[in-house]
Amino acid sequence: MLPGDYEFGTGDKEVMEILGGSMDVKLSGSDEFVTYKEGESFEVPANSKFNLEVKEVADYCCSYIKE
């Protein structure tokens, strides 16, 4: 992912694994960004939005979880 500010919405639960670099993440309902780095992951609840701030190129894998 290239540097920038992003907002995404999801219908299904997501697991985002950071494979390289880092990103700051703000989940729906939160007031603060949390930094996730290479080797870490976070979950996004179904039917929600989340914001990303990427300061340098980051690589990730997104898995959608049907519930």
Q: What's the pLDDT score for residue 67?
A: 83
Q: Burial, 44: exposed, middle or buried (Cβ in 10 Å; 0-12, 13-18, 19+)? A: buried
pTM check: above 0.85? yes
CATH of residue 45: 2.60.120.10
Is residue 37 within 8 Å of residue 18, measured between CB atoms? yes
Q: Tens digits of per-residue pLDDT, 44-66?
A: 999 999 999 999 999 999 999 99
The domain tally of the chain equals 1
Residue with the larger pLDDT of the pair 13 and 67: 13
pLDDT, average across residues 4-18: 97
Q: Tens digits of per-residue pLDDT, 13-24?
A: 999 999 999 999
What HEC string does 23-51 produce? EEEEECCCCCCEEEECCCEEEECCCEEEE
Q: Which domain holds residue 11?
A: 4-65
What single-letter DSSP state applies at residue 22? E
Q: What's the pLDDT score for residue 9?
A: 95
What CA–CA distance (Å, rounded) separates 19 from 24? 14
